Amino acid sequence: MTDRQHAVSSSGRHPERGLDQHAGFDAIVVGAGFAGLYMVYRLRELGLRVRGYEAGDDVGGTWYWNRYPGARCDAESLAYSYSFSPALEQEWQWSERYATQPEILRYIEHVAERFDLRRDFRFSRRVDSARYDAESNLWSITTEAGDRSHARFCIMATGCLSVPLLPDIPGLDDFRGERYQASLWPHHPIDFTGKRVGVIGTGSSAIQAVPVIARQAARLTVFQRTPNFSIPACNEPLDPAFVAEFKRHYREHRELARVGKISGFGGLEAVPREQAPAADSGVLLSDRELETILEQYWNTGGARFIGAIGDTLLNERTNTLVAEFVRERIRRTVHDAETAEALSPTSHPIGTKRICVDTGYYETYNRDNVTLVDVRRHPIARITANGVETEHDQYPLDVLVLATGFDAMTGALLAIDIRGEHGSTLADKWANGPRTYLGLGVSGFPNLFTITGPGSPSVLSNMLISIEQHVDWIADCLGFMQRQGYQRIDADAEAEAGWVAHVNEIANATLFPRAGSWYLGANVPGKPRVFMPYAAGVGPYREVCERVSANGYEGFRFA
């Protein structure tokens, strides 16, 4: 692919603001994050008339909303970036190994500008319904703002972690201080100086925010229900010589990442710093050998630690040894033994909940102004006007930060009233858990595509790799339909059932189902417990998708 269509917009950031009334397009794309932007780029190349809708008032998706202090990516910036334009990847300069949220947002804005992508989007438009009409073979899409448009194809680029959850704690709305949600953070900086701050949650978001807030606040209290495993990021400025050399081989690095050969953990790292995984199995390693490998990975940092020993997510014994290594590091780092114990995860195998990557998280608990409250032992009774009350204590607060997660993977799709053939709803179809073919199509919902949908590697990978693979696959499929004169594509019910069974089979061969994670929907009361992502890795998954398209899109029906 070339950069031939890269006219820079001269018409400003938001060219048109009027409502779409009964407007017709070839394709509608929902979401202007990494996925939606690239999808629009590819659809334009096919010569299709495209409309994008985005709830936020600008591009960025997850990086538009998640502006909490300390927010940065846990995939390395040189790998967590678009690969579709060789010119773009050569010219963009990342400043750190792991980019901050502001830097990633600047990058996305740059891409939108460089490829003139904003012009096809309408912003501040939350899509609330998408209905398929069999007679016209069109999707009809409405937004909360009142837009009404139709298109042959509807492509959901709605993100996997884009529906924030509030905790079901009594009195949440009674709090009279400042209240912030990590995933809906204000666009202006928040000054915690001199304030008593409480953070509820200890997932990836909180683990990044806590060290930064602690440096400013007068007092920080972290309310932890379940401890998570966190690996030091070992973040650092990128060395220009390293970057220059890396960029000389960018194409090769990208190719390795695409087929899952860079890291045992979905391509989160840019380059292998050692041979990875360092050992296929922990079973035959001596304690000393295991310690040496893990120490090496720990000291170079990042989520790739989970890939150090190849069977960490498959073998219980290996997993226990790796988990114990991390617990030992926590004990070494945190001075207070009781706090160290409370921070040490024991209720799930390491890696079966998304591994966290931090900068100084455990060290933060050595500060005089930071307290950890174990709400498993002392449950939060209520939130009052003045702070948080547990059964034993009161914690007066000026600021309350909620980092309580997302309705992952299915949340954003089910938040839209999606109706397929015969008026059947996606909510009904997925009442017992998501059912897709390849995470790309849903039987009974013709011409609907889900980018990084449930049943694909998505959240178990570097999202950029999975997004680009899905967008390319969809664009190629639409190109195939154009050439063949097809107007309609639908996943075959049998192929879908086979894929769902395969996704479950792969998950059940791992330790993933042992954790009450958001991968399983366990963080949302009443959500069916189904392991949603495809756990075989980006390489094998890509092979399946390529085989499907090479065989005339087997498992899909065209008309």
> Please, which residue, 62 or 443, has the CB nearer to ligand NAP?
62
- Report helix, strand or coil for 379: coil
Q: Contact region for ligand NAP (CB under 6 A) — 195-203, 324-332, 414-422, 503-511? A: 195-203
Q: Which of 43, 73, 278, 477 binds ligand NAP (CB under 6 A)?
A: 73
200 binds ligand NAP (CB under 6 A): yes
> Please, which residue, 281 or 300, has the CB nearer to ligand NAP?
300
101 binds ligand NAP (CB under 6 A): no
Q: Which of 100, 162, 456, 523 binds ligand NAP (CB under 6 A)?
A: 523
Strand-strand pairing, 387-390 and 380-383? antiparallel
Q: What angle do CA 388, 389, 390 make, to 5 degrees?
A: 125
- Report helix, strand or coil for 186: coil
403 binds ligand NAP (CB under 6 A): yes
Q: Which of 202, 312, 436, 462 binds ligand NAP (CB under 6 A)?
A: 202
* CB 177, CB 197: distance < 8 Å: no
For the CB of residue 304, give the shortest distance to ligand NAP in the complex, in Å: 14
Q: Which residues contact 341 (CB under 8 A, 6 or more apart)?
A: 331
Report the 10 Å Cβ neighbour count for 12: 8
> Please, which residue, 465 or 477, has the CB nearer to ligand NAP?
465
557 binds ligand NAP (CB under 6 A): no
Q: Contact region for ligand NAP (CB under 6 A) — 47-55, 196-204, 250-258, 292-300? A: 196-204
Q: Which of 201, 302, 349, 441 binds ligand NAP (CB under 6 A)?
A: 201
For the CB of residue 401, give the shortest distance to ligand NAP in the complex, in Å: 11
Measure CA 254 to chain center: 20
In the region spanning residues 342 to 401, those forming contacts with ligand NAP, defined by CB under 6 A, are 354, 357, 375, 380
Please identify the residue of the shown chain whose CB is closest to the bound ligand NAP. Answer: 203
Q: Which of 406, 430, 541, 556 binds ligand NAP (CB under 6 A)?
A: 406
Contacts with ligand NAP: how many residues (CB under 6 A)? Answer: 29
405 binds ligand NAP (CB under 6 A): yes
For the CB of residue 68, give the shortest distance to ligand NAP in the complex, in Å: 8
* DSSP code at position 459: G
> Please, which residue, 101 or 140, has the CB nearer to ligand NAP?
101
Strand-strand pairing, 380-383 and 399-402? unpaired
> Please, which residue, 321 or 357, has the CB nearer to ligand NAP?
357
Rounded Cα distance, 323 and 499, in Å? 32
> Please, which residue, 361 or 541, has the CB nearer to ligand NAP?
361
* CB 302, CB 80: distance < 8 Å: no
167 binds ligand NAP (CB under 6 A): yes
Beta bridge partners of 448: 154
Which one, of 532, 517, 531, lies nearest residue 353 by Cα? 517
Q: Which of 142, 181, 205, 221 binds ligand NAP (CB under 6 A)?
A: 205
Rg of the chain on CA atoms, in Å: 23
* CB 398, CB 195: distance < 8 Å: yes
> Please, which residue, 48 or 73, has the CB nearer to ligand NAP?
73
- Report helix, strand or coil for 373: strand
Q: Contact region for ligand NAP (CB under 6 A) — 5-13, 41-49, 164-172, 499-507? A: 164-172
Exposed, middle or buried by CB within 10 Å (0-12, 13-18, 19+), for 554? exposed
What angle, 0 to 180 degrees and rounded to 10, lies between the N-to-C axes of helices 34-45 and 101-114? 10
Q: What angle do CA 12, 18, 20 make, to 5 degrees?
A: 120
Q: Contact region for ligand NAP (CB under 6 A) — 87-95, 194-202, 418-426, 436-444? A: 194-202
Q: Contact region for ligand NAP (CB under 6 A) — 8-16, 222-230, 278-286, 500-508? A: 222-230
Q: Which of 226, 315, 339, 352 binds ligand NAP (CB under 6 A)?
A: 226
For the CB of residue 322, give the shortest distance to ligand NAP in the complex, in Å: 18
- CA dihedral of residues 320, 321, 322, 326 (deg, nearest 10): 90
> Please, which residue, 164 or 555, has the CB nearer to ligand NAP?
164
* CB 454, CB 409: distance < 8 Å: yes
67 binds ligand NAP (CB under 6 A): no
Q: Contact region for ligand NAP (CB under 6 A) — 17-25, 50-58, 160-168, 434-442? A: 160-168
Beta strands in 87-126 (DSSP E): 121-122
Instruction: Name the amino acid, one letter, at 385.
Output: A
Strand-strand pairing, 448-450 and 148-156? parallel
* CB 243, CB 94: distance < 8 Å: yes
User: Considering Cα of 558, then 537, then 512, then 227, what sign does the dihedral take?
Assistant: negative
> Please, which residue, 230 or 469, has the CB nearer to ligand NAP?
230
* CB 139, CB 150: distance < 8 Å: yes
> Please, which residue, 225 or 502, has the CB nearer to ligand NAP?
225
Contact string 21-60 vs ligand NAP (x = CB under 6 A)? ----------------------------------------
Give rounded-to-5 percent helix, strand, coil for the chain. Answer: 35, 20, 45
Question: Which residues make up the interface to ligand NAP (CB under 6 A)?
Answer: 73-74, 161, 167-169, 182, 200-206, 208, 223, 225-226, 354, 357, 375, 380, 403-406, 459, 518, 523
